[in-house]
Structure 1
Amino acid sequence: MNFKLTSSNVARLLASLMLFSAVLSSCSKKGDPKPEEIQKPKSEAKDLSGLSILKSENPSLTGDGYVYKSGAKFYVTLPMGSTINAVKVKFIFSDNATLKVNGSAVSGNTATVDLNNTQEVEITSESGFKSNYTILAQVGIKEIDEMVYPFIEKYGMPAVSYAIGKNSIENLVYKNATGFAVVETKERVRPDYMFRLASMSKQHTAIAIMTLIQQGKIGIDDLVFGPTGILKDSFPSVGPKSAKVTVRHLLEHTAGYTGDPMFSATYNGYTLDQRIQVMLNSTQSEPGTVFYYYNMGYGVLGKIIEVVSGKDYETYLKEIYAPTGAQVYICGTSPNQRRQKEVAYYAQNGSSGYGNDMNVAKAAGGVLINTEDLFKVLYSVDGGTIRQDILNSATRTLMFTPSTVTKGYAKGWRTNHSLFNGFYHGGNLAGTATFWIYGEDYSVAVLLNSRSEDSQFDVDLIVLTNNIMKKAKELGL
């Protein structure tokens, strides 16, 4: 088709252009921003992704800091020999966010802080949202601490105290602690804080019994019950099997009883004597034939200590440990009985960390001590020549000799573990988990103020303690 540009066609074209322009005008709003005037939405990012603590920026440090992040917590280890009361820390956080440390605004991303104390960090996004973080720093050995931090975070442990002893010098070569002794007030745990030992208390009961044997006040094979037994005044009439139970059987968990009333809620409110009577009325195998780990047996040993010594259990422990310089106590039954420099105890299954009467359970699970004093005790029964021993060679050998019923238990000490050589014991109560190894070259203790219900927890605690011991040897501490 031919299109000729005539005057009428030009007129129609101009009319169409004017109509199109009018339509365009009707689709626009007066005052719309120009593209360069459109603002981006404010960022909601409020993450603290890392910390940088470098020796090059801190003359008071002996090396760079090690940082382990878990959720909203940062664990920091500064090298041994460092002074950490004024450390320059670089905070790595979201773009356009702002930073506060302990409530004080920080200009830029670097602040000088006292890492002896807990640091509370607040990150505020550009849009006003906030995130809070906690920094727990200490001077220590990175290779040791980096094994501890993931463990306590994995299992939700509020606090941990750990120490390494070198057997050849009968002394500690490393001790440290991290976390909160009291979660509610954020009271930091320190290496001199005391922990309830749970079943690690059994070693102390065994040591106390051994001192009575050493003094000739009782014998390892003395009868406990019946008309000629050590406790004849309290339990003169017992069944024929109970009448055969000896001190050895109780120490080695071979007395034959089943159904342990010591930590059973069924017997809340029962006295020690009442629980012993429950034990005496229970089903029993022939003494000395079967190993059955039995807390109540150590409750009986605690009573033997008090009857024979004429002193309460705690007083007697203090007396025999006096030459070592170790301070030892029995922990309280309720939170308001918590001692100065003692951790609080936290259960994880909805129960109370204070659900047991420690006046009853003291000889089976109630000893309270810190790691340094724990090692003072260990090195007073190890047969070494540097520290004064409270047990002679014969008594010590007796204590560490495994039962004839099982090679895995001596008297208050487990032995013959598949992972390591030496003697060991763990402890486990609601609000407490502990483990220590008396090894060949090094010894290690790990104390916690909670326990996990995870089925892997106990195994992982043993593995952690053993790995610390192996690392100490590898580092030549």
Structure 2
Amino acid sequence: MKRSIQIYTLLLVWIITCNPLHTVFAQCFEQKTDSLIQTVFHDKSGPGGVFMVTQHGKPIYQKAFGKANLELNVYLTPENVFQLGSMTKQFTAIAILMLEEQGKLHVNDPVSRYIPDYPSGGKITLHHLLTHTSGIKDFTQMKSLSAIAQKVMTPAMMVDFFKDEPADFAPGEKFSYNNSGYVLLGYVIELVSGEPYKDFIQQHIFNKAGMRNSYYASDRQVIPNRAYGYHKKDSVYVNKTSISFSVPFSSGALMSTVGDMLKWQNAINTNLLLNAEETKKAFTKYRLNNGEEFTYGYGWHLREINGTAVRAHGGSVFGFKTMGVYIPCEDIYVIGFSNCDANSPTKVTEDIAALALDILKSK
């Protein structure tokens, strides 16, 4: 009887870990994923990208393509640190909800509660800022942006830069992607918490989630495994344009690795940072004043891939582009980083997510 149990156990282990059918699916997925990535990231001598696919919180695919530094001839690895661009907005949104959970603010509070002199601040709520429905001018669309792009700006200075611009529409009338709103949210985080945004994110999110390779961006700080950013001018790669990270601030100034972004996703899934009720607010579709539903929660686009609901967000900042797609029903997370803004990982990452869904269904 004892020997029968041992044989059964060994057979079960073989089925789980050594099943040829399981291996075939894994090889098929790897080959097809490689092919999707190499349609864009095919220049082995140039900058490239890092991609990770995970299911149930663990990597099932992880590869790097191209170089992290052209001048030093250093190749990318999955451990490289990239600028996130607008994926920063996820962290800003969760930070706001963390403060709400602590009773220090409410998403329906007017901006004027925190910045009394903000024009029409009594009509614009934090919810409007979180959902890109505030109507305030996006500072990245202002012609005068070049005048401050390389200056060290305080959050108050950034708000002063755009606050007197005419509104594009009344609060709640439309959805229009807006970086200014997330700069305002970062300023509110500082005013309410009494901590610099950089420190709040570090102490209450990065440290708590174990994200030891994530940072508020800096060109002066020595950051181990930093990937350097590039532009492509005609057919030649050039170093990225410099920017003061105090300008994108809480709308786009964080850095991370694919491994740390998995820790971020796992922290959200396990309610490590927020309770379930608050977390749900980030992934709820909201409505405009006329009752029309739009597909953005708090810091995430809420879309579909082949009829399956996904949470997604990309980022773009000088020299870098990023994209992340999470599929809740299958607990699949796909993340793609590029260190050249001529090569976007957006479609590739979405295509890999669709492939992962197809492979699972075929099993």
TM-score (norm 1): 0.62
1:419-474 CA-partner distances (Å, limit 9, x unpaired): 5521101111220111110113212000001112xxxx65xx43311221233344
Aligned counterparts, 1:28-427, within 5 A:
141-153=30-42, 158-166=47-55, 169-225=56-112, 229-231=113-115, 236-239=116-119, 241-261=120-140, 264-268=145-149, 269=151, 271=153, 272-284=155-167, 285-321=169-205, 322-327=207-212, 328-332=214-218, 334=219, 336-337=220-221, 339-349=223-233, 353-382=240-269, 387=270, 389-405=272-288, 406-417=293-304, 419=306, 421-427=309-315
2:16 corresponding residue in structure 1: none
The verdict on how the C-alpha distance between 1:164 and 1:237 changes in structure 2, with shifts beyond 3 A counting, is same
Shift of 1:326: 1.6
The verdict on how the C-alpha distance between 1:306 and 1:351 changes in structure 2, with shifts beyond 3 A counting, is farther
The verdict on how the C-alpha distance between 1:170 and 1:407 changes in structure 2, with shifts beyond 3 A counting, is same
Q: Which of 323, 329, 347 pairs up with 1:435?
A: 323
Higher relative contact order (CA 8 A, sep 6+): 2
Shift of 1:401: 1.0
2:130 alignment partner AA: L
Contact 1:261 1:275 (C-alpha < 8 Å) held by counterparts: no
Shift of 1:181: 0.7
Contact 1:196 1:367 (C-alpha < 8 Å) held by counterparts: yes
Structure with the higher helix share, 1 or 2: 2
Contact 2:44 2:65 (C-alpha < 8 Å) held by counterparts: no
Q: Which of 446, 449, 455 pairs up with 2:336?
A: 446
Distance in 2 of aligned mates of 1:404 and 1:473: 29
RMSD: 2.7
Contact 2:36 2:348 (C-alpha < 8 Å) held by counterparts: yes
**How many residues were matched structurally?**
318
Distance in 2 of aligned mates of 1:262 and 1:307: 26
Distance in 2 of aligned mates of 1:402 and 1:179: 38
Distance in 2 of aligned mates of 1:438 and 1:202: 16
Shift of 1:259: 4.5
Gaps of 5+ in 1: 1-79, 82-139
Give the SS at the match of 1:282.
coil
TM-score (norm 2): 0.80
Give the SS at the match of 2:247.
helix
Identity in percent: 24
Shift of 1:154: 7.1
Shift of 1:475: 4.6
The verdict on how the C-alpha distance between 1:325 and 1:262 changes in structure 2, with shifts beyond 3 A counting, is farther
The verdict on how the C-alpha distance between 1:375 and 1:266 changes in structure 2, with shifts beyond 3 A counting, is same
1:305 alignment partner AA: I
Distance in 1 of aligned mates of 2:323 and 2:248: 19
Distance in 2 of aligned mates of 1:291 and 1:470: 26
The verdict on how the C-alpha distance between 1:191 and 1:418 changes in structure 2, with shifts beyond 3 A counting, is closer
Contact 1:346 1:431 (C-alpha < 8 Å) held by counterparts: yes
2:17 corresponding residue in structure 1: none
Give the SS at the match of 1:315.
helix
Gaps of 5+ in 2: 1-25
Distance in 2 of aligned mates of 1:187 and 1:154: 14
Give the SS at the match of 1:422.
strand
The verdict on how the C-alpha distance between 1:468 and 1:325 changes in structure 2, with shifts beyond 3 A counting, is same
Shift of 1:262: 8.0
Shift of 1:337: 4.0
2:15 corresponding residue in structure 1: none
Shift of 1:347: 1.7
2:275 alignment partner AA: N
Distance in 2 of aligned mates of 1:215 and 1:255: 25
